């Protein structure tokens, strides 16, 4: 191991941090040589270790190369097991869009080149797993669990133990992938409600979850799921709760893609490459657009749809054997949140700062990268805006540099620990003016005298200078050593503000 070692300030202490880089996918799993790969491979869970199952070990080994499970032959099947309408639409698109590869081939040869049909061990032409899933009239006849289950639970914990109600709705979506996506969306839409959100000077009614985001998440779960024989007994699962919706599929992220990279332009990797290629030319039922039109853009489309709806971004959880995406059931800038932001009495907040505060109000935290992802600002703007929120005493920072985390200021939190209606902070001008009475002081000295942070001192000094109540002794106001002094005769108002004496 070659750890990156550094010493960092954290909560008034020095912390020694050794960061161990993750192994490349083609070298996993890491295991104890004495115990062997199957018995000596572990995954970290909380503050303990869990031994990987044999399935998880095999999944990591398969991820060292390009899996071919979607090209595996399905004995006893053939062209007759395909939906004729889907086959015709696929062949027409292939011959129109890719004439060099498919223009001169007959139907069977074209389907073989597209990997929808493959040769069995004895040379018989049969359907592939990917061919059945994208074109099959009823793939579940061969693979009963390659389907989607949707369950709507009555409480955030699942079943209602008081009333005995296990679920509100329970739907199974079967058929080829285009049909499963359509029927799953219908089931989710039937169980969704509409909410009112603030849009400019008015309000608009929107669904709980944007359909574009749901569609991309469902398609991704079906297309990128593990199709190895060990995973064919597990379905794609969708669980709806009052506060969230989770979509889960077997098989974690494949290739070099990590949770932090999801949604970044140019970052894409397909476990089932042939299935994905097929679905780029298989249309939606009754439509002309393909199921997967733009490779690698699904997560970005999902994120953009949520941003447009002013909703929190989804939470991605990548495990060796599963991958899930969870959509929180709230809009960031709903009427209640906008009222809370107005109650803070702050002027000049940017739209991205309002979004950041709304996220923190829901009880979460932010770092620089999360702030950039949520608000679509660059690193420079994110650093500047987060610093401004700290200076306004709306946000507090823990940790430094890459370990910096931001949470809502304690003054805005009720005793319960979640954001309340908003408590206006004290006006700091009087404290600074008192500290400058009869003397000159630098920002560092003012921070020591008042107990305020350097950022808060700088924020209120800018206000006092703009009001003509304080002046710098030199032009270089960005220099921490620059000293400040009061101007003219100033008296404190009874309300804690300031006023110039006549």
Backbone angles phi, psi at 142, to 5 degrees: -95, -30
Q: Which residue has the higher pLDDT, 39 or 195?
A: 39
Residue 260 has pLDDT above 80, yes or no: no
52 and 83 fall within a common domain: no
d(CA 243, CA 158): 11
Lowest mean pLDDT among 17-21, 204-208, 355-359, 469-473: 204-208
Burial string for 207-243 (b: 16+ CB within 10 Å, else e) reads ebbbeebbbbbbbbbbbbbbbbebbbebbbbbbbbee
- CA torsion through residues 198, 390, 368, 408, sign: negative
HEC sequence for 229-264: HHHCCCCEEEEEECCEEEEEEECCCCCCCCHHHCCC
364 and 249 fall within a common domain: no
Mean pLDDT within 488-498: 50
d(CA 208, CA 379): 31
**pTM, two decimal places:** 0.71
Tracing tokens 């393909």 back to the chain, one arrives at 290
Confidence label for 312 from pLDDT (cuts 50, 70 and 90): confident
Among the candidates 377, 412, 447, a domain finishes at 412
Among the candidates 349, 384, 412, a domain finishes at 412
Based on the structure, what is the number of domains in the chain? 4
Within a domain: 53: yes
- Quote the pLDDT of residue 251: 92
Residue 355 has pLDDT above 50, yes or no: yes
Within a domain: 315: no
Q: Which residue has the higher pLDDT, 335 or 48?
A: 48
Q: Find the radius of gyration of the CA atoms of the chain.
A: 29
Mean pLDDT within 170-177: 96
- Quote the pLDDT of residue 126: 97
What does the block give as tokens for 464? 């006092």
The count of residues in the chain is 502
Of 215, 155, 148, the residue nearest 185 (C-alpha): 215
Q: How many CB atoms lie within 10 A of CB 263?
A: 18
Residue 328 has pLDDT above 60, yes or no: yes
Mean pLDDT within 304-320: 81
212 and 305 fall within a common domain: yes
- Quote the pLDDT of residue 423: 46
Q: How many Cα atoms are found within 13 Å in the side-chain-facing hemisphere of 186?
A: 10
- Quote the pLDDT of residue 494: 39
265 and 406 fall within a common domain: no
Backbone angles phi, psi at 327, to 5 degrees: -100, 120
Please give the C-alpha separations between residue 419 and each of 194, 257, 363, 405, 501, in angstroms, as whole numbers: 24, 35, 7, 17, 39
54 and 79 fall within a common domain: no
Q: Which residue has the higher pLDDT, 93 or 329?
A: 93
Within a domain: 230: yes
Residue 490 has pLDDT above 90, yes or no: no
Of 117, 85, 137, the residue nearest 282 (C-alpha): 85
Within a domain: 207: yes
161 and 280 fall within a common domain: yes
Within a domain: 100: yes
- Quote the pLDDT of residue 204: 56
Residue 134 has pLDDT above 90, yes or no: yes
Percentage of residues of the chain with pLDDT beyond 70: 88
What does the block give as tokens for 71? 């090209």
Residues 383-429 pLDDT 10s: 889 988 888 888 888 877 777 889 888 877 754 444 444 444 567 88
257 and 302 fall within a common domain: yes
Domain span at residue 26 reads: 4-62
Confidence label for 502 from pLDDT (cuts 50, 70 and 90): very low
108 and 223 fall within a common domain: yes
**CA-based max dimension of the chain:** 103
Residues 100-125 pLDDT 10s: 999 999 999 999 999 999 999 999 99
- CA torsion through residues 279, 284, 286, 288, sign: negative
Among the candidates 15, 46, 62, a domain finishes at 62
Most confidently modeled of 230-234, 250-254, 348-352, 459-463?
230-234
Mean pLDDT within 315-337: 83
Most confidently modeled of 157-166, 225-234, 266-275, 389-398?
225-234
144 and 156 fall within a common domain: yes
Rounded mean pLDDT of the chain? 84
Mean pLDDT within 32-44: 91
122 and 246 fall within a common domain: yes
With residues binned 3-state (H G I as helix, E B as strand, rest as coil), the percentages for the chain, rounded to 5, are 35, 25, 40
205 and 87 fall within a common domain: yes
What does the block give as tokens for 343? 């109650």
- Quote the pLDDT of residue 421: 45
72 and 11 fall within a common domain: no
Is there a contact between 293 and 221 (Cβ–Cβ < 8 Å)? no
Mean pLDDT within 202-228: 85
- Quote the pLDDT of residue 31: 92
Mean pLDDT within 314-338: 83
Within a domain: 314: no
Q: Which residue has the higher pLDDT, 204 or 457?
A: 457
Residue 132 has pLDDT above 70, yes or no: yes
- Quote the pLDDT of residue 450: 86
d(CA 469, CA 369): 38
Backbone angles phi, psi at 469, to 5 degrees: -95, -20
Alpha-helix runs per DSSP H in 51-166: 54-62, 84-97, 99-102, 107-113, 129-135
Q: Which residue has the higher pLDDT, 255 or 389?
A: 389
Within a domain: 419: no
Confidence label for 323 from pLDDT (cuts 50, 70 and 90): very high
Is there a contact between 170 and 150 (Cβ–Cβ < 8 Å)? yes
Please give the C-alpha separations between residue 358 and each of 20, 227, 378, in angstroms, as whole numbers: 34, 40, 19
What SS3 state is found at 460?
helix
Backbone angles phi, psi at 6, to 5 degrees: -155, 160
Is there a contact between 149 and 253 (Cβ–Cβ < 8 Å)? no
Please give the C-alpha separations between residue 351 and each of 104, 321, 452, in angstroms, as whole numbers: 56, 39, 26
CATH number at residue 398: 1.10.10.10
Within a domain: 478: yes
- Quote the pLDDT of residue 348: 79
CB neighbours of 28 closer than 8 A, spacing ≥ 6? Answer: 60, 63, 64
């Amino acid at each position: 191991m070659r750890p990156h070692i550094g010493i960092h300030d954290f909560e008034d202490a020095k912390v020694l941090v050794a960061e161990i880089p993750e192994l490349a996918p083609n070298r996993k799993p890491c295991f104890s040589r004495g115990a062997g790969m199957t018995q000596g491979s572990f995954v970290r869970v909380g503050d303990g270790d869990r031994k990987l199952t044999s399935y998880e070990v095999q999944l990591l080994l398969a991820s060292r190369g390009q899996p071919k499970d979607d090209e595996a032959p399905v004995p006893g099947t053939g062209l007759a097991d395909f939906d004729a309408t889907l086959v015709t639409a696929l062949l027409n698109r292939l011959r129109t869009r890719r004439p060099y590869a498919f223009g001169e081939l007959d139907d069977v040869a074209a389907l073989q080149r597209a990997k929808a049909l493959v040769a069995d061990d004895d040379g018989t032409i049969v359907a592939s797993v990917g061919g059945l899933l994208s074109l099959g009239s009823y793939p579940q006849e061969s693979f009963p669990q390659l389907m989607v289950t949707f369950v709507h639970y009555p409480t955030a914990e699942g079943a209602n133990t008081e009333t005995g109600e296990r679920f509100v709705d329970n739907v199974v979506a079967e058929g080829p992938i285009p049909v499963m996506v359509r029927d799953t969306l219908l089931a989710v839409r039937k169980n969704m409600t509409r909410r009112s959100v603030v849009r400019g000077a008015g309000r608009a009614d929107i669904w709980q979850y944007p359909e574009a985001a749901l569609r991309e998440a469902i398609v991704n779960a079906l297309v990128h799921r593990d199709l190895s024989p060990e995973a064919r007994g597990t379905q794609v699962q969708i669980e709806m709760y009052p506060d969230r919706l989770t979509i889960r599929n077997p098989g974690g992220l494949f290739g070099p893609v990590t949770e932090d990279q999801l949604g970044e332009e140019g970052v894409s990797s397909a476990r089932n490459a042939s299935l994905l290629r097929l679905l780029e030319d298989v249309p939606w039922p009754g439509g002309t657009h393909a199921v997967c039109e733009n490779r690698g853009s699904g997560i970005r489309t999902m994120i953009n749809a949520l941003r447009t709806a002013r909703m929190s971004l989804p939470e991605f959880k990548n495990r060796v054997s599963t991958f899930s995406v969870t959509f929180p059931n709230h809009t960031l800038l709903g009427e209640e949140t906008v009222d809370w932001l107005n109650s803070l009495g702050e002027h000049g907040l940017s739209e991205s700062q309002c979004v950041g505060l709304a996220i923190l109000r829901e009880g979460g935290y932010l770092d620089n990268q999360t702030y950039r992802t949520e608000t679509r600002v660059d690193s420079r703007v994110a650093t500047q805006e987060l610093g401004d929120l700290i200076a306004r005493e709306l946000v507090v920072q823990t940790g430094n540099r890459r370990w910096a985390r931001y949470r809502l200021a304690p003054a805005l939190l009720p005793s319960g620990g979640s954001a309340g209606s908003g408590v206006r902070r004290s006006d700091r001008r009087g404290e600074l003016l008192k500290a400058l009475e009869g003397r000159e002081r630098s920002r560092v000295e003012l921070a020591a005298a008042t107990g305020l942070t350097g950022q808060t001192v700088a924020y209120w000094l800018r206000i006092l200078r703009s009001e003509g109540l304080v002046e710098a002794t030199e032009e270089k106001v960005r220099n921490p050593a620059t000293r400040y002094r009061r101007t003219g005769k100033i008296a404190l108002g009874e309300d804690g503000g300031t006023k110039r004496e006549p």
